[in-house]
A and B are shown apart, each in its own frame.
Chain A
C-alpha cells in the first residue's frame, strides 16, 4: 500500500467518450485532477469511466469520482464505470451511502448590513449592561467581605500581591528610572538656556510624582497583570473550571476576583511610590551628569519643590486605577466563550480598555484637581 516513500501520481485522460483514470487516487494526489476535470469538454451521449488502472482509492478519491458521476448524470449523460477493484468498489459504496450530494455543503448564514449593524449595537449595549452588572455584583461581594473580614482569602491575596507587586518591581523600576533620565535630559536642555538648571529638580520631581509615576506603574500593571487575569479566568472558563467551582458552591467572584482586586489595590500604590523614587533617582543622575547639578543641591531643591500634597495626590489616584484594571481584566475573562482564540481576543481587549480607561480617568482627575485648586 502507500506505506512506501514513493507515491504514484493520479492521472486521468479523456479518450473520445472514455475517461481513463489511473494511479493513486488519494487525498494528497487529487488537487491536479480537480483542475483537469473542470476543463474537460465532454462529448454528448454515453460516457464510460475506465478505472482498471486505479491502484488505490481513498475516501477523498472516491468522493471525487462519485461527484463526477453525479455531475455527468445531472447533465444528461448516461455513465458507466468499469474495472474497479473490489476494495475500491467498497470505498465508493461507503461514500455513496453517506448520501452527501455535490454542492450541498451547509453554510452558516451571514447577516446582511442592516442586521449586522443592529446586532452589533445590541451587543455593545448588552456589553455595557453586562459590565455594569459585573461591577454591581463585585461591589456587593466586596461589601459582604468588608463586613466579614475573616472570610477574605488572605492567602490568595498574598499570592496575588507577590505576582502583581513584587515580581513587577524590576520592570517598573527600570522604566521609571529611564523615564526620569529622559525628562531630566529634555527639560534640562531648555532650562540651561535660561540659566535655570537647578529647577530640573522641580521639573522631574513634580512631573514624576503627580503624573508620570502613577501612569507608568498603571500601564505596566495593565499589560502585565490585567492581561494575566483575563487569560487565567478565560482559560478556566473554556475548560469549565469556573462551572466546576460554581457546582461546588464556591463563588468565583470571591475566590478569583476579590483577592485579585484587593491585591492590586494594595500593590499599585506601593509600586507607584517605588516608581516615584526610581524616577527621581534617574533624573538626579542625569542632572548630575549633564547639567552639573550635584546630588546634595538636587535633593535640597527637591525638598522645597515637592510638597506632601503633590505626592499624596499622585498616589491617591492609583487605587482607582488598580480597581479599573482588575475589574476590566476579570470581567473580560468571564466574557470568554468556547475557544482559545476568544481568550486571546478578550486579553487584548482587557489591556486596551484598561489603558484607555486609566488615561481618561487620569485626565478627569487633573481637571478636578485644577478646579479644586490643588
Chain B
C-alpha cells in the first residue's frame, strides 16, 4: 500500500474507511487511498466492481454508508451546501454515458458551465467552447449538432470538452476512451498529457484502456472483491507477483500494450 508516503498536505483527495452497499449488495468496504496533487490516478477493475460508484462518491453525488472523503483537505461530510457548490466549480466530471443536455447543441453544452458560473459575454463563451471543441478533435461545424445527432465517439468527446469547460483543478473521467477509435484514443492521451503540462490538474480516471494506463497514469488502483487489490505504478503492477493483479494485467491485451512501450 502506498499509504506510508502520503503527506496530508499534499493530498487532493483522501478516502478513509469508505463503505457502501446497495441493499444486500456490498459494493466496497473500508477503502483507504489518497490522490496526490497533480497526479493522474487510474482506477481499474472488472466491470461492475464499483468504479463508477466510487467516482460518484468522490464527486459527492452518492453518500457513502460510512467512512470519510476529504477533498482539498476538507471533510466533505462537514461542508455547508454553499461550500460544496463552490467546490464543484473547481471539479470537472465526465460521466460514463456522457450525460449531455439533450436540448442544447454541442457548443451550448460546452458553454453551459461558463454561462452559469461566469459573467463572460456569450460571444466569448461560444469562442471558448469552439476552442475546447478543437482541443478534443472536433470541428466548429460539429458544434451545431444536438446530442442525438452525435456519434457515440463524438458524444464522448463533447462530454470531455464540457468537463474541462471551467479548466478545473480536479478532473474525474469515467472511461473517456471507451467507444473511441484508436486514433482518437491516442489523441485523448496526448490531450491529457498536454493539459497536465500546461495546467497541472489532478485527474482521477477510470479506464480499461491498457494503452492509456501506460501512457498517462502516474499510479493505478486495482479494485476487486469489494476492496483495493493493489495500488502502484504500471511498472509495479506489471511486475507484481500477486495472482489477482497478474490475472488482470497479464492478459494478452495488457502484454501487447506493455510491449509497445
The chain A residues found within 8 Å of chain B, CB to CB, are 1-3, 26-28, 30-31, 34, 56-60, 63-64, 67, 87-88, 90-91, 94-95, 97-100, 102-108, 238, 337-342
* Other-chain contact of B102, A28, A87, A99, A341 (Cβ < 8 Å): A341
| Seed contacts A1-B200, A106-B141; 18 additional CB < 8 Å A-B pairs | A26-B167, A28-B118, A28-B166, A30-B118, A30-B124, A34-B121, A58-B199, A64-B124, A87-B198, A91-B198, A98-B131, A100-B127, A100-B140, A104-B130, A104-B140, A105-B130, A106-B130, A107-B144
Residues of A within 8 A of B140 (CB): 100, 104-106
A337 to B102, CA, bound (A): 10
Q: Are A3 and B128 in contact (CB under 8 A)?
A: no
A27 and B167 contact, Cβ closer than 8 Å, known pairs A106-B141, A106-B144: yes
Residue pair B127, A67 in contact (C-beta under 8 Å): yes
Contact B134 A60 (CB under 8 A): no
Are the C-beta atoms of B166 and A63 separated by less than 8 Å? no
Contact B127 A87 (CB under 8 A): no
Question: B197 at interface (Cβ–Cβ under 8 A)?
Answer: yes
**Is the CB–CB distance between A30 and B120 below 8 Å?**
yes
Known contacts A60-B167, A105-B123: does B103 contact A339 (CB below 8 Å)? yes
Chain B positions within 8 Å of A, measured between CB atoms, are 12, 37-38, 72, 89-90, 101-103, 105, 107, 114, 117-121, 123-124, 126-128, 130-135, 140-141, 143-144, 146-148, 164-167, 169-170, 194, 197-200, 202
Alpha-carbon separation in the docked complex, A94 to B143 (Å): 19
Q: How many angstroms between the C-alpha atoms of A105 and B108 in the bound complex? A: 12
Question: What are 25 sample pairs from A and B whose C-beta atoms fall under 8 A apart?
Answer: A1-B200, A3-B12, A3-B37, A3-B72, A27-B165, A28-B117, A58-B167, A59-B128, A59-B135, A87-B199, A90-B194, A91-B198, A98-B134, A98-B135, A99-B134, A100-B127, A100-B140, A102-B127, A103-B127, A105-B140, A106-B107, A106-B140, A337-B148, A338-B146, A339-B103
Q: Are B103 and A341 closer than 8 Å at their CB atoms?
A: yes
Q: Which residues of B contact A57 (CB under 8 A)?
A: 198
User: How far, in Å, is B197 (CB) from chain A's closest CB?
Assistant: 6
Q: Could you say which residues of chain A place their CB within 8 Å of the CB of B197?
A: 87, 90
Which 6 pairs, one residue from A and one from B, show the smallest C-beta to C-beta distance? A339-B102, A98-B134, A58-B167, A31-B119, A341-B103, A91-B198
